[in-house]
Amino acid sequence: MADPGTAVNNGLMGEIRLAEVTETVIDAPTMERLVEDDRAGAIVSFSGNVRDHDHGRSVETLTYEGHPSAEAVLAEVAKEIEGRFDLIALAVSHRVGPIPIGEAALVAAVATAHRGEAFAACQALVDLVKERLPVWKHQVFSDGTDEWVNCA
């Protein structure tokens, strides 16, 4: 498998089929269908779901707030990943607003000719979104405390 930090696009023109910040429900099967292609030997997806705990504390509610530039930043991240890997297609979506426990906050899917490239590209995409997306997470815990975290 290629190292996500050093992979180089070898000429295959990938297509960014979706790069959005949304208030609507997102899921991995939908994103996988967006990147389906007869040329693809591998489709890899990631679903980052809201869990009911964080660092040993019970989470009651979670809300993501995005900066107005968040969708443009997400498009830039998708374009960067498209240039680093031999992608056939890519789709990525991050949800904002209140998100119930168990639902996805971030879903990414990539299609490539081979599995190693697909795994590396999907991991790099998720890592870069988490690093760059201007989104803040507000968690309310069962003990009544809350916290804001700058993370996608």
Structural domain boundaries enclosing 128: 15-143
Q: Is residue 56, in this structure, part of any structural domain at all?
A: yes
Strands ordered across the beta sheet of 42-49: 15-22, 87-95, 104-112, 42-49
How confident is the model over 89-113, as pLDDT tens digits? 999 999 999 999 999 999 999 999 9
Q: Is residue 8, in this structure, part of any structural domain at all?
A: no
Q: Is residue 1, in this structure, part of any structural domain at all?
A: no
Q: Is residue 120, in this structure, part of any structural domain at all?
A: yes
CATH number, domain at 123? 3.90.1170.40
Q: Is residue 76, in this structure, part of any structural domain at all?
A: yes
Mean pLDDT of 75-95: 97
Kindly report which listed range (72-86, 100-114, 138-152) carries the lowest average pLDDT score. Answer: 138-152
C-alpha span between 89 and 28 (Å, rounded): 15
- Using CA atoms in the order 49, 54, 60, 65, what is the torsion angle rounded to 10 degrees? -60
Q: Is residue 5, in this structure, part of any structural domain at all?
A: no
Q: Is residue 112, in this structure, part of any structural domain at all?
A: yes
Q: Which amino acid is at 107?
A: V
Q: Is residue 30, in this structure, part of any structural domain at all?
A: yes
Counting the structural domains of the chain, the total is 1
| Residue 150, pLDDT score | 85
CB-neighbour burial class of residue 73 (10 A; exposed 0-12, middle 13-18, buried 19+): buried
Task: Tell me the pTM.
Answer: 0.90
How confident is the model over 19-36, as pLDDT tens digits? 999 999 999 999 999 999
